[in-house]
Copies of this chain bind each other. A is one copy, B any other.
Amino acid sequence: MTSPLTFPITVDIVALTVIDHALHCLVVRRGIDPYRGRLALPGGFVREDEQTHQAAARELTEETGIAPPGHLEQLRSYGPLGRDPRGPILSVAYLLLAPSFSPARAGGDASGALWHPVDALLTPSSPLAFDHAAILADGVERARSKIEYSPLATSFCGPEFTITQLRTTYEAIWGSPLDPRNFHRKATKTASFIEATGETIREGAGRPAALYRLAPGVDETAFVLDPPLRRPASPAPASQEKGAPPPSAQQ
């Protein structure tokens, strides 16, 4: 057998957070060609002696100053053809759900990193370079699906949170309002999800809210919510691919 063809491999990170009740994605402004000056997902080439998930963590820190606070989940691979003007390059995409107090805007290799509203990045004329709009769309769909049956949404909330904070997180990711009373009952009654700390917190007017934390011994990424928190039916369900499940996939 002849020596096999080789390809450069990149990683791209879809890092999501919730700011002001809206889903935001971490993007960098490219300092080099191609697509110099355009927005792009953080990422870069895989080096020798590292796995793709290690490259994703390294590039995220290098380009944005953010150390992955949680779990990097692989989305899928893209390419190698037709996605980079420099030639065939395979890219492996990763998803990260970060708390909203992550150090945004930390600088690095790229000309600044910032949280950008997802809605503005997914328009038909997306400002994102390469095929990053498609990658982002897959990442958002994965996040929407994953929080249905895993406690992963608590990753956005910090160590302690109120039920309302958790609910507004779900609303921001799913993009649809939820009934506060039914959500409260569902969140507090579901096993292996959250537990009360016993503390309460006052936030402006109204009755103080009880504080909760992730239930002990629960992996945020495990599929433990049974029955799941199902998102409301969308009016116009976009064609879906399930990279995972769950729930949740295809290409």
Contacts and interface: CB of A to CB of B under 8 A. Distances in A.
Q: Which of A75, A79, A241 has the most CB of B within 10 A?
A: A241
Interface residues of A, number: 54
A250 interface: yes
Nearest to A10: B4
A59 to B, nearest CB: 12
Given A46-B7, A244-B241, A73 B250 contact: yes
A175 interface: no
Contacts of A244: 241-251
Contact of A249 (B9, B79, B90, B243): B243
Interface string A138-167: 000010011011000000000000000000
B248 A221 contact: no
Given A5-B46, A47-B5, A250-B142, A76 B221 contact: no
Contact of A76 (B32, B76, B237, B246): B76
Interface of A: 1, 4-9, 32, 45-53, 71, 73-77, 79-82, 88, 90, 92, 142, 145-146, 148-149, 221-223, 226, 233, 237, 239-251
